[in-house]
């Protein structure tokens, strides 16, 4: 089963890349061991630690009658990898060179 859904690209997560920490949205049912093995298998890096956070759903107002609905909760994982390794999904040096 694929536990990694997508990378989370925000200002804070991109700052963490310089400290070898990468952020991913993961399946709600995934535990830390499953996430670590998935990252190791997919990207070929050594995982030092995994921290998980369940993000609560936000209340939104939608529709003509402005009915309150709630977005689904999701889980994110902050993965720390060994020094000197990197994950190419978060590589920003290519974009800086093109500008």
| Sequence spans of domains, the chain | 4-85
For 2-23, letters b (16+ CB in 10 Å) and e give ebbbeebeeeebeebbeebbbb
* Architecture of the structural domain at 4-85: 2-Layer Sandwich (3.30)
The tens place of each residue's pLDDT in the chain, 99 residues long, gives: 799 999 999 999 999 999 999 999 999 999 999 999 999 999 999 999 999 999 999 999 998 999 999 999 999 999 999 999 999 887 766 555 555
pLDDT of residue 89: 82
This prediction has a pTM of: 0.83
Cα–Cα distance measured from residue 54 to residue 25, given in angstroms and rounded to the nearest whole number: 10
């Amino acid at each position: 089963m694929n536990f990694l859904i997508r990378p989370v690209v925000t200002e804070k997560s991109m700052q963490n890349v310089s400290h070898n920490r990468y952020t991913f949205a993961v399946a709600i049912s995934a535990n830390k061991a499953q996430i670590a093995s998935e990252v190791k298998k997919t990207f070929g890096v050594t995982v030092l630690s995994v921290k998980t956070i369940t993000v609560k759903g936000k209340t939104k107002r939608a529709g003509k009658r402005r009915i309150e609905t709630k977005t689904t909760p999701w889980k994110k994982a902050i993965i720390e990898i060994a020094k000197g390794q990197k994950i190419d999904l978060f590589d920003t040096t290519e974009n800086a060179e093109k500008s």
